[in-house]
Amino acid sequence: MSGKILEKTDQELVALALADQKDFLFLVKRYQNQLIQYICRISNVAKEDAEDILQEVFLKVYRNLNSYNPKLKFSSWIYRITHNEVISAYRKKKNRPQTIDLDLDFNLIETLADDFDIKEKIDQNFLKEKISQVLLKMDHKYAEVLVLYYFEQKDYQEISDIIKKPKGTVATYLNRAKKQFNKILTKENIKFH
């Protein structure tokens, strides 16, 4: 992406895309990596399927560009569309993920490990696998809130805008998600060492 384009805000890129459809490419490039990671984190689809979902997301984004309200962060809006698309993909398949590709960087894992009192020095890949196991066993709505908060690093307001729930509900979900995470750790006897 050229330097000039990199400096442009999301809203400016939306305006460019509305003026010339080829410029929509700039928005695709800005968001495709983080969205593909997000899709993989909250679903069990293979990389190819995740890319199909992502394509649908971008087509939907393009069709609905005029409905984007600048009062909302563009990233929240595009994450919301992705969240909806993943849910509709679930419904089509009528099943829950069997494995989750967390695709996390190690700093994010450490943030989560700190919050959950996982203090032992353990191998990061091993930890990643264990976290995936726990997330899989959680209710989807709680697992997704954990993913958005810890791995996508969204704040309460952004999560509220993405999953379309009040901020208070997001806080409740996060609280319950942490409890459920710990409960599954204990119940399944998942050890980090």
Written as one letter, the residue type at 181 is: F
Interacting residues with other proteins between 99 and 138 (CB under 8 A):
none
Query: How far is the C-alpha of 73 from the C-alpha of 14, rounded, in Å?
Result: 12
Nearest to 56 by CA among 21, 79, 81, 76: 81
Interacting residues with other proteins between 65 and 104 (CB under 8 A):
65-67, 69
- Provide the mask over 5-34, with x wherever binding to other proteins is found by CB under 8 A and - wherever it is not: -------------x--xx-xx--xx--xx-
Q: Are 163 and 177 in contact (CB under 8 A)?
A: no
Which of residues 167, 175, 182, 187 is near other proteins by CB under 8 A?
167
User: Which tokens sit at 137?
Assistant: 């066993």
Is residue 165 within the footprint of other proteins (CB under 8 A)? yes
Which of residues 9, 59, 96, 124 is near other proteins by CB under 8 A?
59
List, in sequence order, the alpha helices (H) in 20-165. 24-42, 47-63, 74-93, 106-115, 124-137, 140-146, 156-163
Q: What residues make contact with other proteins under the rule CB under 8 A?
A: 18, 21-22, 24-25, 28-29, 32-33, 51, 54-55, 58-59, 62-67, 69, 160, 164-169
